[in-house]
Amino acid sequence: GDIDDITIANAYASEAELKQMAEAFHAPMPELKVVPRPTMTENERKCVFEAMHSYRGDRSEYMLRSTMTRVIYKDLDFPPHDTDTIKPGDVIIDNDGYGQYKGETQIALKEMKNDGRVNVVGRISEDEMFLLDFIKPWSSFKFIESDEL
């Protein structure tokens, strides 16, 4: 699980690249860049970017579940929108139609049909999709906003 070596592929890393590498190395938990959809609501933004996330222990091949947002934000509204097909890397939130699961934040690992109870609110940046393999059950992670898919 720990990192022993870091290899830089280009001949000379820029100051910005070295800074990013140092920040990632010293971060207390993995940070995943998420590109939000323009339709993301303020309540969904709270779930995604303000909450600390923890991957549930009951691993699923379909999604990575972070359930604390449904507890923290249980009194907020999550009206249905963007209920299109769910693709790997989509950041999704169960909407008001999902009852007790309303407000739960998840990352899709496989393509799934959407029954209308799940809002697609953003997407993991393509260059960070490989990081999903390193997030293990019961581990914590954080989302940071990005504009780069």
15 located within any domain = no
Total of domains in the chain: 1
Reduced to 3 states, what is the DSSP secondary structure of residue 69?
helix
Q: Which domain holds residue 90?
A: 30-145
19 located within any domain = no
8 located within any domain = no
**CB neighbours (10 Å) of residue 46?**
15
88 located within any domain = yes
Residue with tokens 């972070």: 66
pLDDT for the residue 26: 66
23 located within any domain = no
Q: Which CATH number belongs to the domain containing residue 46 in this structure?
A: 2.40.100.10
pLDDT in tens, 2-33: 666 777 776 788 888 787 777 666 666 788 99
Q: What is the pTM of this model?
A: 0.84
- Starting at the earlier edge strand, list the strands of the sheet with 31-36: 53-54, 140-145, 31-36, 118-124, 90-94, 105-108, 63-66
18 located within any domain = no
112 located within any domain = yes
Reduced to 3 states, what is the DSSP secondary structure of residue 114?
coil
